[in-house]
Structure 1
Amino acid sequence: MAKGLAVTMRHMLRKSETQQYPEVHPDLPARSRGVIALVEENCTVCMLCARECPDWCIYIDSHKETLPAPEGGGRPRARNVLDRFAIDFSLCMYCGICIEVCPFDALFWSPEFEYAEYDIRDLLHEKDRLGEWAATVPPPPAHEVGAESPKELSAGSRPAPARRTAPVKGPAEGASPAQATAQETAQETAQGSVRETAQEPAQETRRETAQPTAREAARGPAAEPAKGPEGRPRREPPRAMRDIRSIRPPGSLPKNAGSPPEKKDGPEGER
C-alpha cells in the first residue's frame, strides 16, 4: 500500500503535460494508420483490393469504354472506367492488406483521423471523400544514411556492357617487313581455314538432302497419298490414334490360332 501511495505522490508532484486539442493537433508518426486515401487516376479496376479484403468492406463498380484507334494505325482498345469506389470504415479493421496488394499505388495511408460520425451508417465513404484525403498523405521518409539505393534506380543508371572483340595481334616490335608480311599471311590462312571448316558441315548437309541414297533410288518414286472422294489427299491418323485400335478391353486374353472355337449355349451353339 505504501508503494502505491508513493507512485501517486510522485505523479502528483510531477508537472502535467496537457495537449490543447483540437486547437493543437498531435504530432503523429509518418506511418500512422488514420484513414485510407484513394488516388483515382492510378486505379485500373483490377479488383485486387476488394478480393483480398478480409472484411469485404470495399465496393467497386465500373464500366468499359472503347478508345478510338490512333491516327498512326492500330485498332480500338477497351479500358475500365471507375464508377464507384467506397470503403465502409465501420467494418474496416485497418489491416492495410488492400494498400499492400495494390499494384498501381492507388491506395495510401493518411494520418487523418477526424472522421467520426454520430450514425454508423455515415462511415461509408465514397471515392470523392477518399480522394480528398489523398492530399493529406505525407511524403515517404528519406532513406537512411549509407543505405543501398533501390534496384530500379541502380539498374537504370548502370552502363550497358561493352562487346568483347578478339584482339588483333600486330607485328612485333623490331620485326623486318618480310617477317611482318609472313605473320599477316599466316593469320589470313588461319581465318580462311576456320571459315572452310565451318562451311563444310553445312555443304555436306545440303548435299545429303539434295541427293537420294541408293536404297531410296532402288525403291522407285514415292507413292502418291490416298485421295478422298473430293480429290483431296487423305490424312493418315497419327501414331497414337492408330495404336488405340489395337488396345484390348481389360480382362480379355489374346486368342490362339490353334485353340478350338468356343461353344455357345442355346440353338446357336447346336448349329
Structure 2
Amino acid sequence: MPPIPGAGLAKGLAVTLRTMTKRTVTAQYPDVQPELPPRTRGVIGLFEENCTVCMLCARECPDWCIYIDSHKETVPAAAPGGRERSRNVLDRFAIDFALCMYCGICIEVCPFDALFWSPEFEYAETDIHELTHERDKLREWMWTVPEPPALDPGAEEPKEIAAARKTAEKLRAAQAAEEAEAAATAQAGQPGQAAQAERPTDAAGPEQPKQEGQE
C-alpha cells in the first residue's frame, strides 16, 4: 500500500499538539537546587586524619589523577626502653577532576575510610588547571558529605561491633570479679579485727609472782 501523502506531517503535528497540552515543568536552577539522589557522585572529600599514605587509591586509579606526597617522621618510644617507630606524614593530596571519571574505585579501595562521596557538583572553573583540588579544598568538601543511611534492623551485626562488645563484656566481667574478690577479702578480715578489739587489755601488764619476803 503506497504511503498516504502528508501522513508523516500529521504524526509530527499530533506529537506537537499532545506536548502543548501537557503542563510544563521547568527546573528553576540555580534559584532552586535540584533534589539529588542520596548516592550522587559529585565530588570527593578527604578526611586526612584517617589517611595513612598507603598510596592504594593512587595505584588503583585508572586515570592516574590522584597525586600524593609524603615524608617519614620518627616517633619516640612511648615507654622507657622502647623502640622508636617511623610513620608517614601526608604533605600533599590532590585530585585532578579534569581527568577523574568518577568511577569511585579510590573510595572503595581505601582501607581506612579517608575518602567519601559528596553530592556537591557546582565547582566548574574557567581554567582547567583550577580543577586540580588540593587537600585543603578536599577537606572543605568533607563537611558536605551526607550521613550514611541507617542500618537495616534485621541485618546481621557488623563483626567489628560484635568483637568490641565481647571485649567490653570480658573487661567488665574481670573488673566485677576483682571487685568481688576485694570485697570478700575485706569482709574476711573484719571479724579478726573485731575480736582483737574486744579482747581486754591490762595497762599494767601481767601480774608477776610474788617472791618470799615481799608483801
Give the C-alpha shift of residue 89 in structure 1. Answer: 0.7
Question: 1:31 is matched with which residue?
Answer: 39
Separation (CA, whole Å) in 1 of partners of 2:25 and 2:115? 36
For residues 53-83 of structure 1, give each alpha carbon's deviation from its aligned partner in whole angstroms, at most 9, with x where no partner exists. Answer: 1111110000111112124541221110000
| Residue 42 in structure 1 maps to residue 61 in structure 2 | no
1:119 shift after superposition:
1.1
How far residue 50 of structure 1 moved from its aligned partner, in angstroms, is: 0.6
Instruction: Give the corresponding residue for 1:15.
Output: 23
Could you tell me which residue of structure 1 aligns to residue 125 of structure 2?
117
Aligned counterpart in structure 1 of residue 110 of structure 2, from 102, 105, 109: 102
Measure, in 1, the Cα distance between the counterparts of 2:70 and 2:106.
18
Structure 2 Cα separation of the partners of residues 112 and 87 of structure 1: 15
Q: 1:18 to 1:156 in 2, by over 3 A?
A: same
- The 1:83/1:156 distance shift into structure 2, 3 A limit, reads closer
CA distance in structure 2 between the partners assigned to 1:77 and 1:14 by the alignment = 70
**Aligned equivalents of 2:48, 2:149: Cα separation in 1:** 23
Matched residues in 1 for 2:11 and 2:27: separation? 29
Q: Does 1:153 align with 2:176?
A: no
Unaligned runs of 5+ in 2: 1-7, 171-215
Q: Secondary structure at the match of 1:26?
A: coil
TM value normalised by structure 1: 0.55
Cα distance in 2 between the residues matched to 1:50 and 1:118: 26
Secondary structure of the 2:143 match is: helix
The residue number in structure 1 matching 2:74 is: 66
Structure 2 residue matching 1:136: 3-state secondary structure? coil
Q: Is structure 2 residue 59 aligned with structure 1 residue 51?
A: yes
Give the C-alpha shift of residue 14 in structure 1. Answer: 1.3
**Letter of the structure 1 residue corresponding to residue 36 of structure 2:** L
Q: Gaps spanning 5+ residues in structure 1: where?
A: 161-271
Please give the TM-score of this superposition, normalised by the length of structure 2: 0.69
Could you say if the C-alpha distance between residues 11 and 144 of structure 1 is closer, same or farther in structure 2, counting changes exceeding 3 Å? farther
Counterpart of 1:143, as a letter, is L
Q: Provide the alpha-carbon RMSD of the alignment.
A: 1.9
3-state SS of 1:108 partner: strand
**What does 1:211-230 correspond to in 2, within 5 Å?**
none
1:152 Cα deviation from its structure 2 partner: 3.0
Shift of residue 155, structure 1, vs aligned partner: 4.7
Structure 2: distance between partners of 1:95 and 1:45:
21
Q: Which is bigger in relative contact order (C-alpha 8 A, separation at least 6)?
A: 2
What letter matches 2:123 in structure 1?
A: Y
Q: C-alpha deviations, 1:38-61, integer Å up to 9, x for none?
A: 001010000001111111111000
Instruction: State which structure, 1 or 2, has the greater radius of gyration over its C-alpha atoms.
Output: 1
